[in-house]
């Protein structure tokens, strides 16, 4: 008889954003079709030549390095944070992590006692609740308003009634593309201070803000240094998600505790990649490449959201940042279609995802794992022709429902 694995692992859900690849491949092989894949939460272009050259040079760093991360890179990040969000953190207040996921995972274990609650503003990145559960905490979901924006009045009441210890959100938001305003951040900051909570601000998409707006951070609000923690990294802005590099900035006691745990979990992030990130964060070529991506994704957004809103039964707010569209598809629930000799009814976002795969040959990620079952997420980090083809296919398929 095989010994049992842990209960907590059995309860953790697989990442919805990473688990569709096999299904897409099966459909393409079985039916001889080509799926337009709009699932990936990653840029469609990689790092610039100078960053790649630095990675090769960094390959000489083959021994263990500082668990907290390369001191020179932390110094560069200190300058970047100061320039971009207007608050200065000493290099000792920053730790390099194995991706933002790795940073959030360890942060939850640093901040939460078993059974304590972390408030997660919906819609949310699919990993947030699972990272809380892995730390033996309780994820508590906070509804947004009808425009998918944070609702400070509701947050205040929920924080009071449910003894929330940690608040977690992303802005620009994955999946909605909502960018929190300065007023919204001020209101959230007041609640965090009044209730003596931690707030983790995931700003991984801060390099992708549209319409000429400037990225705002809760860390820059006066008095928030003792409560706010920043998680960010190079994966989106430099097109290196596979390199698994992130960083955390916050109160020194938090960074020291995170570093202590990281020493026992993974010994720190890859040294060659940290070396390459020194170049990425200081390279004019890399900065220009990020700006070029932002302009392309903004054009994709304009085309795709306009097209979605012309389809009966689908409505989509206009994302202000990141590179996703998150349309509501609730009005299409209850509709039926036929595929491969069988009848199907759309009752959930998973059903709608399957409908698009089968009838439109378009792949998106169902809204349920993001906390909103009546929605579906599409990635706009792709070529414009893919955006146009996906729109045409979705329109034709929905018209036949």
The parent domain of residue 243 ranges over 49-283
Domain boundary among 264, 283, 302: 283
Domain boundary among 260, 283, 306: 283
How far apart CA 335 and CA 344 sit, in angstroms, is 9
Domain boundary among 263, 283, 303: 283
Please, which pLDDT band fits residue 17 given cuts at 50, 70 and 90?
low
Domain shared by 165 and 313, yes or no? no
The answer to whether residue 352 scores a pLDDT higher than 80 is yes
Q: Would you say 276 and 56 are in contact if contact means Cβ atoms under 8 Å apart? A: no
Tokens of 228: 């706010």
| 1 domain-assigned | no
Of 361, 160, 159, the C-alpha closest to 168 is: 159
Strand pairing of 36-37 and 117-121?
unpaired
**pLDDT (average), residues 326-353:** 97
Domain shared by 79 and 111, yes or no? yes
| 235 domain-assigned | yes
CATH of the domain at 302: 3.90.1150.10
Domain shared by 190 and 115, yes or no? yes
Per-residue pLDDT reduced to its tens digit, 143-193 = 999 999 999 999 999 988 999 999 999 999 999 999 999 999 999 999 999
| 2 domain-assigned | no
Domain shared by 251 and 317, yes or no? no
Residues β-bridged to residue 169 = 201
The answer to whether residue 261 scores a pLDDT higher than 90 is yes
* pTM over the 0.85 mark: yes
CATH of the domain at 264: 3.40.640.10
The answer to whether residue 55 scores a pLDDT higher than 80 is yes
User: Looking at the 3D structure of the chain, how many domains does it have?
Assistant: 2
The answer to whether residue 22 scores a pLDDT higher than 90 is no
N- to C-terminal Cα separation, the chain: 50
Please, which pLDDT band fits residue 14 given cuts at 50, 70 and 90?
confident
DSSP letter string, 147-197: TS---HHHHHHHHHHHTEEEEEEESS-TTT-----HHHHHHHHHHHHHTT-
pLDDT at 11: 81
Domain shared by 252 and 291, yes or no? no
Edge-to-edge strands, sheet with 228-232: 94-97, 246-249, 228-232, 198-202, 164-170, 117-121, 138-142
The answer to whether residue 27 scores a pLDDT higher than 80 is no
């Amino acid at each position: 008889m095989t010994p049992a694995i842990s209960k907590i692992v059995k309860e953790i859900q697989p990442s919805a954003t990473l688990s569709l690849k096999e299904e897409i491949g099966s459909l393409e092989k079985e039916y001889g079709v080509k799926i337009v894949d709009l699932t990936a939460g990653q840029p469609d272009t990689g790092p610039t030549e100078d960053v790649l050259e630095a990675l090769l040079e960094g390959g000489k760093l083959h021994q263990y390095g500082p668990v907290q991360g390369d001191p020179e890179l932390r110094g560069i990040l200190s300058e970047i944070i100061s320039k971009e969000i207007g608050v200065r953190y000493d290099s000792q207040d920053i730790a390099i992590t194995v991706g933002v996921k790795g940073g959030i995972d360890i942060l939850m274990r640093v901040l939460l006692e078993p059974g304590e609650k972390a408030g997660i503003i919906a819609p949310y990145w699919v990993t947030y609740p699972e990272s809380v559960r892995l730390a033996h905490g309780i994820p508590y979901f906070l509804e947004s308003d009808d425009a998918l924006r944070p609702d400070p009045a509701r947050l205040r009441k929920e924080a009071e009634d449910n003894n929330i210890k940690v608040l977690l959100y992303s802005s620009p938001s994955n999946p909605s593309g909502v960018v929190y305003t300065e007023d919204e951040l001020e209101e959230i900051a007041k609640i965090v201070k009044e209730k003596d909570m931690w707030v983790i601000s995931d700003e991984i998409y801060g390099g992708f803000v549209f319409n000429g707006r400037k990225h705002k951070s809760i860390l820059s609000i006066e008095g928030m240094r003792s409560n706010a923690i920043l998680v960010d990294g190079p994966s989106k802005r430099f097109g290196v998600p596979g390199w698994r590099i992130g960083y955390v900035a916050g109160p020194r006691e938090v960074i020291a505790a995170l570093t202590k745990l990281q020493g026992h979990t993974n010994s720190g992030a890859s040294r060659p990649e940290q070396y390459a990130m020194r170049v990425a964060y200081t390279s004019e070529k890399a900065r220009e490449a990020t700006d070029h991506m932002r302009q392309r994704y903004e054009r994709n957004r304009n085309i795709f959201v306009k097209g979605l809103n012309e389809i009966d039964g689908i409505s989509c707010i206009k994302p202000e940042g990141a590179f996703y569209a998150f349309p509501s598809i609730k009005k299409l629930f209850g509709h039926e279609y036929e595929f491969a000799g069988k009848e199907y009814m759309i009752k959930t976002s998973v059903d709608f995802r399957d409908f698009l795969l089968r009838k439109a040959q378009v792949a998106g990620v169902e809204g349920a794992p993001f906390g909103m079952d009546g929605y579906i997420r599409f990635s706009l980090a792709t070529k414009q022709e893919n955006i146009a083809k996906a729109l045409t296919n979705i329109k034709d398929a929905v018209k036949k429902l």
